Amino acid sequence: MRLSRYFLPVLKENPSEAQIVSHRLMLRAGMIKQSAAGIYSWLPLGFKILRKLENIVHEEQARAGHMAMLMPTIQSADLWRESGRYDAYGEEMLRIKDRGGREMLFTPTAEELITDIFRAHVSSYKDLPLTMYQIQWKFRDEVRPRFGVMRGREFLMKDGYNFDLTKEDALHAYNRHLVSYLRTYERMGLQAIPMRADSGPIGGDDTHEFLVLAETGESEVFYDSAVTDLSFGDRDIDYGSVEDCAAVMEEFTSRYARTDETHDPALFNAIPEERRRTARGIEVGQIFYFGTKYSEAMGATVQRPDGKPVPVHMGSHGIGVSRLMGAIIEASHDDKGIIWPEGVTPYHAGIVNLKQGDAEADAACEALYASLTALGLEPLYDDRNERAGGKFATMDLIGLPWRITVGPRGLKNGVVELTSRRTGESEELPPEAVVARLAQIYAGIA
């Protein structure tokens, strides 16, 4: 992509409505534009990153054996009456009437609809286990939408639903989701800690929230500092193995880590004092096992091998895809702007031409652009007729992890400069060496 052709409406001034850094930087970097309270348009740069986050979620769901599908955003109120949630959900639900006066709603989550699909088509244990998910827009009429995409009213969520014959099978699905979520967040460059939580309007007993520690987080959390030493890494887990998934669950959830809703001061105080931590966190996901709550209410039964019909065991699992963008920025920025982790960066490297119009500099930039593209990498080339200072400021603000600076002086010595956004360190290298270095950095990521 060439910056001269790109729609990137960057703001020079800090927008006054933004209270937290991620909101500020998303507006300044021209990623989003508010259209109404808690409702945003995603401009090309923001949308590109959103797609990257979605792709990581899709890839990790596929690895866990879950099937992607898509359900409508507008649903009939009747289904929600069956579960009793049409009234229970309260003011957060956006209720709509169609021209025939039929009551509809904009879906805040989709347990009812997926259960309706299930009961229409599945009646035997032979079709289980089954896990399907979607990445779809949700609407919740939040009392206080704020912090940009962190607490929006319309937001993008991955929501997945598992159907199993027995509680044991459903708990395996629960553990499997925990494993796949750990991997998903790590690929996004985030540490998200599973914490025992409260189930809220979804219902059920077993639930963990995934929290990214950040001062601006809305949840108060309490944990044993040992949990922050854990990392999933690139271990090869067999998602079908009950033991493998249970072992990861045990490793990541046996230490104390809870949100304020489930906090137990007595248990907390039993942790050695130097490991006790109180902090704030951003909830980026949650997993639930709620047994037969919806299947009983809505008549979703399957026949066991002995022919007896039983309500199916269910769980649901959510990732806040659009909120994650804010969480990543909260966790990774400096006073100049965003610093994207390599796994989610919108473009792999920025090319800054210090002397646009200089035949040699232009040719060197074009050659770098072509070589990176040929490797399957996406460069963002700042080919505008602007001063170097302005070009650097834009690159720093939008946060590409690598910048290649090309100028006549370096080219005389056969070199360009490769700069890391994170460390600020630069190295002078021949253009081919820069291309090779970037290929190596992104091997296995891009």
Site of interaction with ligand ATP (CB under 6 A): 109, 140, 142, 151-152, 155, 157, 200, 283-286, 318, 320, 322-323
User: At closest approach, how far in Å is the CB of 157 from Mg ion?
Assistant: 10
Closest to ligand ATP by CB, 28 or 140: 140
- Among positions 115, 175, 286, 394, the unique one binding Mg ion when judged by CB under 5 A: 286
Are the C-beta atoms of 101 and 168 separated by less than 8 Å? no
Measured distance CA(106)–CA(99) in Å, rounded: 16
Is the CB of 125 or the CB of 252 nearer to ligand ATP? 252
Binding letters toward Mg ion, positions 349-378, x by CB under 5 A: ------------------------------
Query: How many residues interact with Mg ion (rule CB under 5 A)?
Result: 1
Phi, psi (rounded to 5 degrees) for 9: -80, 80
Q: Is 61 in the site for Mg ion (CB under 5 A)?
A: no
Q: Contact at 8 Å (CB) between 162 and 173?
A: yes
278: its two tokens: 């109180």
Q: Which residue, 103 or 142, is less far from ligand ATP as judged by CB?
A: 142
End-to-end CA distance of the chain: give it in Å, rounded.
Answer: 16
Residues 302 to 321 in contact with Mg ion, rule: CB under 5 A: none
Give the one entry of Mg ion, ligand ATP, none that residue 83 binds, where binding means its C-beta sits below a cut-off of 5 to 8 angstroms depending on kind. Answer: none
Choose between 320 and 379: whose C-beta lies nearer to ligand ATP.
320
| Buried b or exposed e, range 40-56, using 16+ CB within 10 angstroms | bebbebbebbbebbbeb
Give me the residue whose beta carbon is nearest to ligand ATP: 320
Task: In angstroms, give the least distance from the CB of 73 to ligand ATP.
Answer: 15
In the complex, minimum distance from the CB of residue 187 to ligand ATP, in angstroms, rounded to a whole number: 17
Among the listed ranges 140-148, 239-247, 284-292, 372-380, the one in contact with Mg ion (CB under 5 A) is 284-292
Given the complex with ligand ATP, which of 207 and 405 has the nearer CB atom? 207
Based on CB atoms, which residue is closest to ligand ATP, 85 or 403?
Answer: 85
User: In this structure, what are the phi and psi dihedrals at residue 212, rounded to the nearest 5 degrees?
Assistant: -100, 125
444: left (phi over 0), alpha (psi -120 to 50) or beta: left
How far apart are CB 324 and ligand ATP at their closest, in Å? 7
Distance CA 370, CA 374 (A): 6
Give one word for 268, left, alpha or beta, with left for phi > 0 and alpha for psi -120 to 50: alpha
Residue closer to ligand ATP, measured from CB, 261 or 366: 261
3-class secondary structure, 288:
strand
**Integer Cα distance of 48 and 6 in angstroms:** 12
| Two tokens, residue 384 | 């505008």
Return the closest-CA partner of residue 362 out of 392, 394, 406. 406
Minimum distance, C-beta of residue 141 to Mg ion, in the bound complex (Å): 17
Report H helices in 131-281: 167-187, 242-253, 265-269
Of residues 138 and 403, the one with the C-beta less far from ligand ATP: 138
Shortest separation between residue 63's beta carbon and Mg ion, angstroms: 23
Alpha carbon 349 to chain centroid, angstroms? 22
Does the footprint of Mg ion cover residue 175 (CB under 5 A)?
Answer: no
| Contacting positions for Mg ion (CB under 5 A) | 286
